[in-house]
């Protein structure tokens, strides 16, 4: 009797792992990460010089002016700020000057308590995750700063608009005026606020505006040629030689330039395109990989943005999906009626039409909807609202909310 040896079926995961291990696409993938701060920041020399000249006062023991930095997503605001401050700290060590900075992302630390706890931690002040009042955490920070005589502390509040929208600007007022509580013999504190919203300052109380906005820097979007330069510099370090097809970098740059000159989007596109090529065992990254990466990133972005929206913003988006006409848009009035029908079905109290208009403006700023004002002659003006992203991706993201899943079917 002939015995046939059993052949073990190929393990799917083994196959996946083998493909990735054997792939020779990336040399240093981390270079394409948004957290990576390169040795050189092309096309931001003017902004580096401007911010550097402001914070340089810290090297002489003086308090630098507070700074507001504005610009759309992916225009290099955070990268330039961290680049300048890391160089400042290095120079301070060289000169023996007691200078340090504290970085807080207000989207991640989105309450006054969390912001103050992050600052306290950087100053070696121990505070519990919860349990203290905000006032007590602030008092402990002030107490610590009084012991740091001669020190200059620069506090960076990134995406500061998220905090203010959710919790108001009281904490900003306190931090911007902290020097008055500390007196002359304590540490000197300077604030750098970073925001994607150029109209953000209009949201602030006049007292906060005057004390915080001593200096302002505006970062313009990158154009396609500038994005191409940025990508080429990163690609040289990130990829093995010869793995990128000739058209890949110009195509990534052109797509990102169309999206308000977003360098972060361009880098994400290049990275995801490389990962797609790696997964399928391709020897080169092609324009086709970039096209597929664009679809994948867009869906992920929509999912991330929509999932973090408050309930009524999600309901406004649902109402927009229901009320889009043949032209692919709805007027404010049509959208509000669809919204009212939706909340009635859920048994929820509606917000006012003015609040819905504010929500539309916020969604417009996030790039989820497009709201344009159109003149209708003697009938006045109205807003035409349309989706700026894939409706299927919005519907999929909304369906993650248990309350809305049933209505979406």
Residue pair 9/212 in contact (Cβ under 8 Å)? The answer is no
Around Cβ 201, how many Cβ atoms within 10 Å? Answer: 17
DSSP state, 76?
S
Burial label for 224, CB within 10 Å (0-12, 13-18, 19+), is middle
Give the count of alpha carbons within 13 A of 76, CB side only. 26
DSSP SS3 for 281: coil
Around Cβ 379, how many Cβ atoms within 10 Å? Answer: 7
Per-residue pLDDT of the chain (409 residues; tens, 9 = 90+): 455 555 454 566 666 666 666 668 899 999 998 889 888 999 999 999 999 999 999 999 999 999 989 988 889 999 999 999 999 999 999 999 999 999 999 888 888 899 999 999 999 998 887 778 989 999 999 999 999 988 999 999 999 888 887 777 788 888 888 887 787 778 999 999 999 877 777 777 777 777 776 788 999 999 999 999 999 999 999 999 999 999 999 999 999 998 778 899 999 999 999 999 988 888 899 999 999 999 888 888 888 888 888 889 999 999 998 887 656 888 888 899 999 999 998 888 999 988 998 898 888 877 888 887 766 555 566 778 888 888 888 888 888 888 887 776 5
Cα–Cα distances in Å, from 341 out to 88, 207, 316, 407?
Answer: 56, 41, 11, 12
CA separation for the pair 173, 179 (Å, rounded): 11
Residue 230's pLDDT is: 95
CA separation for the pair 102, 99 (Å, rounded): 11
DSSP state, 71?
E
CA separation for the pair 93, 105 (Å, rounded): 25
């Amino acid at each position: 009797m002939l015995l046939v040896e059993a052949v073990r079926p190929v393990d799917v995961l083994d196959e996946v792992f083998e493909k990735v291990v054997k792939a020779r696409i990336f040399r240093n993938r981390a270079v394409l990460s948004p957290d990576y701060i390169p040795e050189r920041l092309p096309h931001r020399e003017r902004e580096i010089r401007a911010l550097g000249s402001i914070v340089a006062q810290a090297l002489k023991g003086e308090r630098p002016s507070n700074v507001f930095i504005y610009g759309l997503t992916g225009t290099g605001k955070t990268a330039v700020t961290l680049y300048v401050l890391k160089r400042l700290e290095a120079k301070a060590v060289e000169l023996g000057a007691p200078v340090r900075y504290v970085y807080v992302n207000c989207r991640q630390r989105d309450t006054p308590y969390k912001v103050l706890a992050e600052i306290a931690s950087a100053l070696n002040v121990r505070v519990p995750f919860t349990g203290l009042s905000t006032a007590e955490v602030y008092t402990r920070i002030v107490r610590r700063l009084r012991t740091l005589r001669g020190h200059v502390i620069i506090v960076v509040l990134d995406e500061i608009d998220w905090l203010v929208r959710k919790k108001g600007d009281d904490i900003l007022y306190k931090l911007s005026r902290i020097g008055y509580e500390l007196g002359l013999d304590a540490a000197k504190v300077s604030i750098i606020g970073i925001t994607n919203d150029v109209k953000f300052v209009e949201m602030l109380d006049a007292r906060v505006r005057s004390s915080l906005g001593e200096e302002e820097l505006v970062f313009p979007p990158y154009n396609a040629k500038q994005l191409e330069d940025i990508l080429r510099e990163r690609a040289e370090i990130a990829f093995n030689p010869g793995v990128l097809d000739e058209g890949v970098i110009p195509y990534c740059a052109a797509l990102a330039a169309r999206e308000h000159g977003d360098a972060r989007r361009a880098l994400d596109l290049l990275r995801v395109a490389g990962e797609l090529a790696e997964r399928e065992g391709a020897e080169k990254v092609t324009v086709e990989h970039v096209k597929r990466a664009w679809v994948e990133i867009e869906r992920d972005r929509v999912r991330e943005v929509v999932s973090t929206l408050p309930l009524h913003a999600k309901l406004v988006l649902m109402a927009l999906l229901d009320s889009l006409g043949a032209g692919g848009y709805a007027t404010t009035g049509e959208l509000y009626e669809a919204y009212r029908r939706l909340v009635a079905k859920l048994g929820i109290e509606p917000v006012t039409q003015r609040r819905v208009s504010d929500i539309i403006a916020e969604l417009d700023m996030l790039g989820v909807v497009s709201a344009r004002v159109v003149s209708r002659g003697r009938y006045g003006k109205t807003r035409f609202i349309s989706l700026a992203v894939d409706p299927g991706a919005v519907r999929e993201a909304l369906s993650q909310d248990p309350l809305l899943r049933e209505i979406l079917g």
